[in-house]
Structure 1
Amino acid sequence: MTRDLSRLLRPRSIAVLGSGWAQNVVEQCARMGFDGPVWPVHPTRNQIGGVAAFRSLADLPGVPDATFIGVNRHATLEVVAELAAMGAGGATCFASGWEEAGEADLQVALVAAAGNMPVLGPNCYGVINYLDGALLWPDQHGGRRVERGVALLSQSSNIVINMTMQARGLPVAYVACLGNAAQVGLAELAGALLADDRVTALGLYVEGIDDAPGFAALAEAARAAGKGIVCIKSGKTELAQVAAASHTASLAGGGAASSAFLRQAGVAEVNSPSELLETLKLFHVLAGAAGGPRLGGRLCSLSCSGGEAGLVADLAAPFGLEFPPPSDAQRERLGAILGPIVTIANPLDYHTFIWGDGPRTTDVFSTMLAGYDAGLFIIDPPRSDRCDPSSYGPALEAIRAAAAATGKPAIPLASLPENFDEGMAGEMLAQGMAPLMGLQEGLAAVKAAQTAPGRPGWRPVPAQATGGTRLLSEAEGKALLARAGIAVPRGIAAPTLAQLAERAGPLVPPLALKGLGFAHKTESGAVRLGLASLEGQAEMPGATGYLAEEMVAGAVAEVIIGARRDPVYGVTLTLGMGGVTAELLADTVTLVAPVGADEVTAALRRLRLWPLLDGYRGRPKADVAAMVTAVLAVQGLMLARPALAEIEINPLILRADGAVAVDALVREELP
């Protein structure tokens, strides 16, 4: 169903129902300078917030574009139905006590009453439009009117209220909350906010994603419009995953799937509100860039202190930020300006010989910045209430001039957040610079702004409902893998050890003996390796059958490939270093299907122990191409057979030539 949210988000008239909280809405619209009519509705009060009240919706002089509903949940149902019948533009439902309180039927009734009329919530604070001064918001906030700026969308009202109190100079155009998102969901509301040409970027606080394919489409549309999206995804510590039956389940926990999804959709992910706000500054300044706003990977850093240069280098390392050395031409030019005492490097400590000399400072800044994708200029002006910051003027102007001369992003970065006050930060943003406040959060923002755009047209596999599952025997699982083209050891299965010994004659020792019916055979004592024969082997308690296989020689590395149905993202793939120490190493990457060979290879290169696969210190190189082929085969099985719930190969033995699935766990949905 397609809904038009424009009247709700950009109303020309607002109705307000309720008393206490509703009064705040009326007063805030007046304070913010909303130039349309605000119509309080109350059955007994003559005025609310100093504005004459109407007894009922039927008494209103017109049909409201937007309505704040601040009455109890049962009365909310009646109001929503009446508004929908009137042709109102939309409403926010403030009352709590719906699905979050176990009243799912009441929430279903609310959606039915709304029909095609957009409804935010319930259990929702609402929306603030700082562009037009329209507030459907019952609480305090820290924003002010702007002509253009970023939108903040949150699944937590308190989190976004806190962000409106920022004193970082970031212009905020909209604040919106989803509440229970009974009708209007995350992707729909985000898309409606980004559709406003005055919105430059979108910041999200997300507890859950309700429509992953729709969200991926939204992210692609935002990039096409030159607008960046940055997200905090909460709820990453999924402790229940640890108790799951497979290595894949625990290794893919901790938000790995959501982070993989955001990365593949081209959405920047950060960990804190301060990092989100700083990243939004970059996206705000870079808005309109073809293919979406993004910083390149080659950075330079300039400061007038060796301590600052060293600190930047140290703090940037965990983020993987790169500071390549200057070119010979840059060294020559910078050396001529700065003199023989200054060591020309990156990060650059340019000393204070040029301090206060605007033209020479501009020359240094421009020369350095010209050779890079973007530059960080570490500068901490003195506080104006106790000091005189005027001597910092030439350096600040030189940063702006360097950006203008080179066409490259020049980013002022204060080592402490408070060292740029709000007025100074706002002025720099108005000049087209993104003043980052705090080294740690500033560097995190720079890294986030380097997020690669998603693959055009990429959408995750739609999620499907899952129920109970059954564990296939390893023999059944390996037969499935073999049919998909994945090499497995030559082996024989039998229901008893005696029968297995009778049939194992064609197998060439050394042999591996495994008991069937266990998710984790090693922990259950159901694996015996290096056997010369099967004669005299004791039974394995709890085994439902037995499997004997020829052992695989020539191993270069043991890796893991896991694929699982995900209730949000469809199918996830976990790849990394495997074997019995897979969880101890915890060196894995997660992808969201579908992916291609290039994406799988790039993901493997992100492993900490990638050098072990790539011939570390003269070791033989593993056949990574064979692993990539196996990953794509596992993905193909999951996409072609919806009944498959999970496939795990651990280990996949990588040899110098080829790969063999030594152990396999396969679960499928019960009929």
Structure 2
Amino acid sequence: MTEALFDPRTVAVVGASGDPAKWGYWLARGALSGASRRPVHLVNARGADVLGHPTHHSLRDLRETPDLVAIATPPHTYEQVVGDALDAGARALVAITAGVVYPGGLPALAERVRSAGARLVGPTSMGVYDSASALALTWGTLTPGPIGVVSQSGSVGLELGYLAAKEGLGLSRFVSVGAAADLGVRELAEAVVAAPHTRVVILYLEDLSIGRDLIALAGGKPVILLTVGGSAAGRRAVTSHTGALATPDAVVDALCRAAGVLRARTPQEAIHIAQACLAVPAPVRRVAVVADSGGQGAIAAELAERLGLEVPAFSPATAEALRALLPPEAGLSNPVDLAGAGEADLATYPKIAELVAPEVDAVVLTGYFASYAADSPALEGAELTAAAHLAETLTTRPCLIHTMRPEGPTVDFLRAAGVPVHGTIDAVMTGLSALTFSREVWTPPAASSTPLGDISGFVALRRTLLASGISFPDGTLYDGGDPGLTYPVVLKALGPAHKTEVGGVVLGVGTPEELHREARRMRDRLGGLPLWVEEQVVSPGVELIVGAHRDPHAGPVVTFGAGGVLAELIADTVTALAPLTHERAKDLIATTRVSRVLNGWRGAPPADVDAVAHAMVVLGGILDARPELTEIEINPLKDGLALDAYAS
């Protein structure tokens, strides 16, 4: 499939046109641009010449097999054209045509194509492109480069190509998935990732039906996911707090973390992250900022820290070395204020960058460097020499540049040398900040050997969780008599997921008489629901939520965070793919704000974090092993005790 689609022996364009307003024109133009590599056949029903080339009336008129057929004809012709292409022996079809109504629907179309030994991209695709094989079956003109793009929106994919060209980059391969009657995201993305000339991949997905396949896809090269979080994981009704907290956006982030995939929010941000990936081979945490002015340095440093980067102070030895090279009024810590030294001698820029590089993971130059030649041609030689020095010497620590005028010979030289140059400091720091974590691909732990018991109802669920090592307060079903518990106790109705909202919980019941009175009132409110009574946990411990939820695309996910009735309001949570290891669960806990309270806040005793992590492992394992379950949660979990639990 890959060869026929991205490097075909022959290409035919059905619907070729000489009108630049039509798809047939751009397909014909693009196909002919690769005519030195392969034969190109243009098909036009009227037989008119297109772009100075003769055409065929039909694919049936061709005297050789078209390896790849691109289709841009009206919907009513589609069935006939597909049949002609398959009869002619085509191995790949790219269907631009929209509004196709195929007998039996798209599944029948896919089956027809596959049964003939061919594969189909589309319909409603915006084409394919491969810079190495001179294949350009898309609208407009794309620039060759190292970025592979797979997009469920053709327009977004083309926008990525145009934005890449503006930044001195381009595309290796591009494919617009379209309606995906046959070939889907997984297969097309694998082909784009595998291309030798692809160094980084951007996926634009409008749904995450690829699910956990994303993990296997992102094994070798950097992958950037651009998606719409609100619709990416589907819509569903939720009854538990966990379902409300494990939002589609949180699930997308969890899937990206598990796959080692970088997430972008806009096409421009995706390109900036791609530039950083191309320039920076390892995770970045510490950056050095070298600026023409104190203001630019301060803005860059503050932005870096807001985005999660570190701007560490330099060692005394480095500060002394800087003092020897810069004016007395220069800033010698981090950021470095050159105080006019760069303008006085352009060689200062690479010298300072080289000097501070060993103490950080990346160097950022911000100011006027790379703009001198554009404004003052007399400075072109000196600036290009400084740029060459920068590119040659900073081989172990990458350098990224913000210049006030991102154009001209120095910018072109630096970009060609692999040094990213941006017109805003926002672009530089956004790209770098995406690389602050190590891209370690998630692997599921071995299945738990703990037997899974009955969870049909609270009592059975409680029994199973107790057997799995999760503790509960002493409690029993309320039968109208003395429960034999230590007062105060909690009375609650069994059944509603959100008990507090319906008056299904009464705290601080201090005597048997009060218990009986509150039980009567609760039954009057809620009917004949069974009631549960348990000893009340009286302590200043923080209420937590631990839950697992089955996402329609990503599968089981575990959510942890601040719990109780304010869980959704506080929304201090983290979500990750399940199942989890104990250590992974503890790492996730540490990413939340509430973890600081668990570790002992202002002299308070630390909580049992291992007990919390164990609960996360158990719930994730249960949901992973029980496909009939949608969600399971403990809320709240307090002082290592599960105060309520729910499963459905």
* TM-score (norm: length of structure 2): 0.89
- Indicate whether 1:421 and 2:407 are aligned: yes
Classify the secondary structure of the residue corresponding to 1:548: strand
Amino acid at match of 1:435: V
**Which residues of 2 match residues 366-385 of structure 1 at below 5 A?**
366-380=354-368
**Which residues of 2 match residues 289-300 of structure 1 at below 5 A?**
293-300=281-288
Q: Is the 8 A contact 2:292 2:337 kept in 1?
A: yes
Q: Which residue of 2 aligns with 1:447?
A: 433
CA-to-aligned-CA distance 1:361-415 (integer Å, 9 cap, x gap): 4332111012211111113458789932655875675465345334234333326
Distance apart, 1:475 and its partner CA: 2.9
Q: Is the 8 A contact 1:268 1:451 kept in 2?
A: no
Q: Is the 8 A contact 1:356 1:394 kept in 2?
A: no
Q: Is the 8 A contact 2:458 2:646 kept in 1?
A: yes
Give the Cα separation in 1 of the matches to 2:234 and 2:146.
Answer: 40
Q: Is the 8 A contact 2:215 2:442 kept in 1?
A: no
- Indicate whether 1:160 and 2:144 are aligned: no
> Which of residues 7, 10, 15 is equivalent to 1:10?
7
CA-to-aligned-CA distance 1:29-49 (integer Å, 9 cap, x gap): 335765322111234324333
Q: Which residue of 1 aligns with 2:118?
A: 117
Q: Relative to structure 2, which stretch is displaced further, 38-47 or 471-480? A: 471-480
Q: Is the 8 A contact 2:308 2:436 kept in 1?
A: no
Q: Which residue of 2 aligns with 1:410?
A: 398
Q: Which residue of 2 aligns with 1:80?
A: 82
Distance apart, 1:14 and its partner CA: 0.9
Distance apart, 1:208 and its partner CA: 1.6
Alpha-carbon spacing, 1:207–1:87, altered in 2? closer, same or farther (3 Å): same
Q: Which residue of 2 aligns with 1:64?
A: 66
Q: Is the 8 A contact 1:381 1:420 kept in 2?
A: no
Q: Which residue of 2 aligns with 1:260?
A: 254
Q: Which residue of 2 aligns with 1:464?
A: none
Q: Which residue of 1 aligns with 2:552?
A: 567
Give the Cα separation in 2 of the matches to 1:363 and 1:528.
Answer: 71
Q: Which residue of 1 aligns with 2:420?
A: 434
> Which of residues 603, 609, 619 is equivalent to 1:624?
609
Give the Cα separation in 2 of the matches to 1:382 and 1:398.
Answer: 9
Give the Cα separation in 2 of the matches to 1:591 and 1:303.
Answer: 39
Distance apart, 1:424 and its partner CA: 5.0
CA-to-aligned-CA distance 1:140-161 (integer Å, 9 cap, x gap): 24x23x3x52112211111122
- Indicate whether 1:244 and 2:238 are aligned: yes
CA-to-aligned-CA distance 1:250-297 (integer Å, 9 cap, x gap): 2111411011101210111011111111111222345xxxxxx43321
> Which of residues 586, 594, 598 is equivalent to 2:579?
594
Alpha-carbon spacing, 1:274–1:33, altered in 2? closer, same or farther (3 Å): farther
> Which of residues 222, 226, 231 is equivalent to 2:225?
231
* TM-score (norm: length of structure 1): 0.87
Give the Cα separation in 2 of the matches to 1:118 and 1:135.
Answer: 18
- Indicate whether 1:271 and 2:257 are aligned: no
Q: Which residue of 1 aligns with 2:339?
A: 351
Give the Cα separation in 2 of the matches to 1:574 and 1:131.
Answer: 44
CA-to-aligned-CA distance 1:457-507 (integer Å, 9 cap, x gap): 45999xxxxxxxxx954334323322322111211114xxxx2x3151x21
CA-to-aligned-CA distance 1:538-590 (integer Å, 9 cap, x gap): 33222511010111234522111111111101101111111111111110011
> Which of residues 292, 310, 328 is equivalent to 1:304?
292
Q: Which residue of 2 aligns with 1:508?
A: 486
Q: Which residue of 1 aligns with 2:645?
A: 664
Q: Which residue of 2 aligns with 1:479?
A: 463
Amino acid at match of 1:269: R
Give the Cα separation in 2 of the matches to 1:626 and 1:207.
Answer: 38
**Which residues of 2 match residues 75-154 of structure 1 at below 5 A?**
75-97=77-99, 105-115=104-114, 116-137=117-138, 139-141=139-141, 143-144=142-143, 146=144, 148-154=145-151
Distance apart, 1:451 and its partner CA: 3.6
Q: Which residue of 2 aligns with 1:211?
A: 210
> Which of residues 521, 530, 537 is equivalent to 1:539?
521
Q: Relative to structure 2, which stretch is displaced further, 420-429 or 244-253? A: 420-429
Alpha-carbon spacing, 1:480–1:29, altered in 2? closer, same or farther (3 Å): same
Q: Which residue of 2 aligns with 1:289?
A: none
Q: Is the 8 A contact 1:400 1:433 kept in 2?
A: no
Alpha-carbon spacing, 1:246–1:399, altered in 2? closer, same or farther (3 Å): farther
Give the Cα separation in 1 of the matches to 2:236 and 2:83.
Answer: 46
Amino acid at match of 1:519: A
> Which of residues 263, 277, 284 is equivalent to 1:283?
277
Q: CA RMSD in A?
A: 2.9
Amino acid at match of 2:253: S
Alpha-carbon spacing, 1:383–1:352, altered in 2? closer, same or farther (3 Å): closer
Give the Cα separation in 1 of the matches to 2:621 and 2:418.
Answer: 47
Give the Cα separation in 1 of the matches to 2:380 and 2:243.
Answer: 54
Alpha-carbon spacing, 1:201–1:34, altered in 2? closer, same or farther (3 Å): farther
**Which residues of 2 match residues 454-465 of structure 1 at below 5 A?**
454-455=440-441, 457=443
Would you say how many aligned residue pairs link Structure 1 and Structure 2?
626
Q: Which runs of 5+ in 2 are unaligned?
A: 17-21, 448-454
Give the Cα separation in 1 of the matches to 2:557 and 2:647.
Answer: 15
Give the Cα separation in 2 of the matches to 1:47 and 1:242.
Answer: 54
Give the Cα separation in 2 of the matches to 1:479 and 1:421.
Answer: 69
Alpha-carbon spacing, 1:105–1:318, altered in 2? closer, same or farther (3 Å): farther
Distance apart, 1:621 and its partner CA: 1.1
Distance apart, 1:651 and its partner CA: 0.7
Q: Is the 8 A contact 1:285 1:429 kept in 2?
A: no
Distance apart, 1:629 and its partner CA: 0.8
Amino acid at match of 1:447: S
